[in-house]
Structure 1
Amino acid sequence: MRQYELLTIGYEGREIDEFVNRLKTFNVTHLIDVREIPLSRKKGFSKSTLGQRLKDEHIEYIHEKPLGSPATIRNKLKSDWDYKYFFKAYTEHLSRNMDAVKKVHQFLFEGVTCIMCFERFPDKCHRSIVADKIKEYDGNGLKIKHI
């Protein structure tokens, strides 16, 4: 049985060309955006612009809004920096959105899949929780690699 790998990436501190080159280095075919609101003040990282750039590079862009962290828990994190609460609340949110988790899991069988969000460090980002939930759902030793 083939062992699959799920990649994750944050674009904080990266320019769009560097970001895209990183995806290409790892042969990414599907980029799953797990931001609730896929807008960015950073040039090239808003949904439509990023989607077109990736299409030009033969990478499919998919926005999975249900996997985004809800504004209520994001705003609380910004006010008190309580990551323990943030990750607990987000995990509860994610458990109510298993259809989106299953959808992302299916992309693993179609090519190299990468989950993206803003934060550079996965231990400070909800994408690590998403990746862990997909690994749990997979049940076959899915490897997670943060690029």
Structure 2
Amino acid sequence: MTTPLATIGYEASTQDEVIGRLKAARVETVVDVRAVSSSRRAGFSKTVLAASLAEAGIGYVHLRQLGTPKAGRDAARKGRVEEMRTIFEAHMTEPGAQLELKAAEELAGSRKIALLCFEADHNGCHRKILAEQICQHLGCSIEHL
């Protein structure tokens, strides 16, 4: 049986809550799919988050090229999900994004991962699009945490 691919957004959560959900779901590695890995929310900037995840026994990988370009992030913030999707899908045709998508697929094929981004609702976030692409290729299910 194929391991499900998890996704998680931290918008309405503390770092402890996110790590708790990851541990409960038995996630082995968090794949940060933010274009910008800094955060105004305490505990979610790349270095602090990676260290905290390591303390919890969870790996961390940042795949920056799988993040949404600025125009897509702006559209998502304004609730224009279809516009964000169009921008993000165009971005995903770029060579760097394709290489990192392959890396994410390889990780998902070898262990339980969770794609991490900001938005609490996966329906308005590019991580849902990524999860769908990865699972279509690997034949796995998606578990939105």
Same fold (TM over 0.5): yes
Cross-structure match for 1:133: 133
Give the equivalent residue in structure 2 for 1:110.
110
CA distance in 2, matches of 1:4, 1:102: 17
Gaps (5+ residues) in structure 1? none
Structure 1 runs (4+) greater than 4 angstroms displaced: none
SS in 2 for 1:108: helix
The answer to whether the aligner puts 1:99 opposite 2:99 as a matched pair is yes
CA distance in 1, matches of 2:53, 2:76: 31
Percent identical among aligned pairs is 31
* Contact 2:5–2:141, Cα closer than 8 Å, also in 1: yes
Residue 81 of structure 1: CA displacement? 3.4
d(CA) in 1 for partners of 2:91 and 2:85?
10
Deviations 1:84-141 (A, max 9, x none): 1111111121132221111011112332110010101000101001111112232xx2
Within-5 A mapping of 1:9-20 = 9-20=8-19
1:34 aligns with 33
Say if 2:12 is the partner of 1:45. Answer: no
Structure 2 length-normalised TM: 0.92
Q: Indicate if the aligned counterparts of 1:102 and 1:137 stay in contact, CA closer than 8 A.
A: no
Question: Structure 1, residues 18-38: CA drift from partner, whole Å, max 9, x if none?
Answer: 111110001111100011001
**For 2:134, what is the secondary structure of its paired residue?**
helix
After superposition, the CA RMSD in angstroms is 1.4
Distance 1:77 1:107, change over 3 A: closer
Give the gaps of 5 or more residues in structure 2.
none
Aligned length: 143
Equivalents in 2 of 1:77, 1:15: separation in Å? Answer: 22
Amino acid of the structure 1 residue aligned with 2:107? F
* CA distance, structure 2, for counterparts of residue 66 and residue 19 of structure 1: 23
Partner deviation per Cα, 1:3-30 (whole Å, 9 max, x = no partner): 2310000001101111111100011111
Counterpart secondary structure, 1:61:
strand
Distance in 1, Cα, partners of 2:72 & 2:111: 32
In structure 1, what is the Cα distance between the partners aligned to 2:67 and 2:41?
18
Question: What TM-score do you get using the length of structure 1 for normalisation?
Answer: 0.91
